[in-house]
Amino acid sequence: MKKIIVLFLLCFFLTPQAYAEEVPDSARPILGDIESGDVLDPAAALRSMGQRMLDGLTEPLAQAMKNASAVLICAVLASLGDVLSLGKTGSGAARLAGVLGITAAAGSGIGGIIGSLAALISDIRAYSAALLPTVASAAAASGAPASASANLAMATLCMNAVLAAAEKFIIPLVTVMVAVATASAAFDGALRGVFDMLSRIARWLVIGLSTAFTAAIGVTKVISAAADEAAVKAARAALTTLVPVVGRTISDASEAVAGSFAIVKNTSGVFGILVVIALAYTPIVSAAANYLGYKIASSLAQIVAGQEITRLISDIGTAIGYAAATAAVSALALFIGVAGFIGTVT
C-alpha cells in the first residue's frame, strides 16, 4: 500500500509539463489516422503507412515525367532550329530560344519543388520545437536527467543551425544556381566556372551540416551517459539510506515511475519519427523523381541537341538534387535527435 501511495505522489510531482503539438496537416496524407498509441503495434502502423507511401508515388512520378518530357521537347525543337539555320547568327538564335524554352518549361516545376521543400523545412522547425522538449522531459523523468538536458540543448542548437542554413543559404543558392546555369547556356558556357563553384559550395554545406550534427549529438550522448548512471545510483542510495522508514519504498517506487516514463519516451519518440517520415516523404520523393527525370532527359537530349542545351537540363537536375538533399538532411537531423532520446539507457 505504501508503494502505491508513493507512486502516485511521485507521478504528481515528477510528471514533466511537456505537450506535443498537433500533427501537421501536411503529414496526414501519409500518416493517415495513426496516433501515438498505435506505435505499440509498430508492424500494423508501418504497413498502413507503407501502403499510403506506395499509393502516393503515382502523382510525383507522373509530374516528374511530364516536366522531363517538356524540357526534352524544347531541346529537340532547339536542335531542329539549329539544323534549319542557314548561318551562325541563326544558330545562336535557335540555341537561345531553346534555352529560354527549357527554362520556361522547367520554371513552374522548379518553383513548386523548391516551395514544397521550403515548406517542409518550416514544418520541421515547428514540429521539432514541440517534439524535442516532450521527448526530453520523458527521458529525464525516466532516469536520464543529464543526457536528456544535454541532448535537448545540443539537438535544439544543431537543429536551429541546420534549418537556418537550409532556409537562408542553401535553398536560395539553388535558385541562383538555376539562374546561372540558364545564363551560362545562353552565352555559350561563359558562366560555367561560376556554376561549378556554386555547386561545390552547396555540396560542402550539405555534407558539412549532416556530419557536424551527427558528430555533435554522438559526442554529447557519450559524455552525458556516464553522468546519468552515476546520478541515478547516487539518488537511489541516498533515498534508501538517508530517509527513515520509507526510503526503500520511495526508491522502489521511483524505479516504477522511471519505467513508466521510459514507455512514454519511447512511444512519443517513435510516433514523432513516423510524423517526420510522413512530412518528408512526398516533397523529397517529388524532388528526387524530378532530379532523375532531368538527368535522363539530359542523357536523351545528347542524341540531338548541343552541349549547352544538354548541360542546362543536367544542371537544373543538379540544383533540384541539392534542394532535395538539404530537405533530407533537415528531416534526418530531427530523426537523429529524437532517436538519441529513444536510445537513452535508463
The structural domains of the chain, with segments of one domain joined by +, span 112-342
Q: Which three cell numbers stand for residue 156?
A: 535544439
Contact 144, 221 (CB under 8 A): no
Query: How many helices and strands in the chain, by DSSP H and E?
Result: 10, 0
pTM > 0.85: no
Q: Which of 119, 140, 56, 176 is nearest to 331 (CA)?
A: 119
Q: How many CB atoms neighbour CB 271 within 10 A?
A: 23
Q: Which three cell numbers stand for residue 14?
A: 515528477
pLDDT score, position 219: 67
Contact 128, 13 (CB under 8 A): no
Residue 24 carries which DSSP code? Answer: P
d(CA 201, CA 326): 13
Q: Which three cell numbers stand for residue 105?
A: 518549361
3-state secondary structure of 21: coil
Contact 128, 335 (CB under 8 A): no
CA atoms lying within 13 Å on the CB side of residue 280: 24
Q: Which of 67, 116, 101 is nearest to 317 (CA)?
A: 67
d(CA 204, CA 248): 56
pLDDT tens by residue, the chain, 346 residues: 444 443 444 444 344 433 344 778 888 888 877 776 666 666 777 788 888 888 888 888 898 898 888 888 888 887 776 655 544 544 567 667 777 878 887 777 888 888 888 899 988 888 888 888 877 777 666 666 666 677 777 778 888 888 888 888 888 999 999 889 888 888 877 788 899 999 999 999 888 888 887 777 666 665 555 544 544 454 444 445 544 544 444 444 444 444 444 455 567 777 888 888 888 999 999 999 999 999 998 888 888 777 888 888 899 999 999 999 999 988 888 888 787 777 554 4
C-alpha pair distances (Å), 206 with each of 113, 194, 320: 18, 19, 13
Contact 5, 257 (CB under 8 A): no
d(CA 46, CA 64): 26
From the centroid of its chain, how far is CA 140? 26
Q: Which three cell numbers stand for residue 79?
A: 536542335
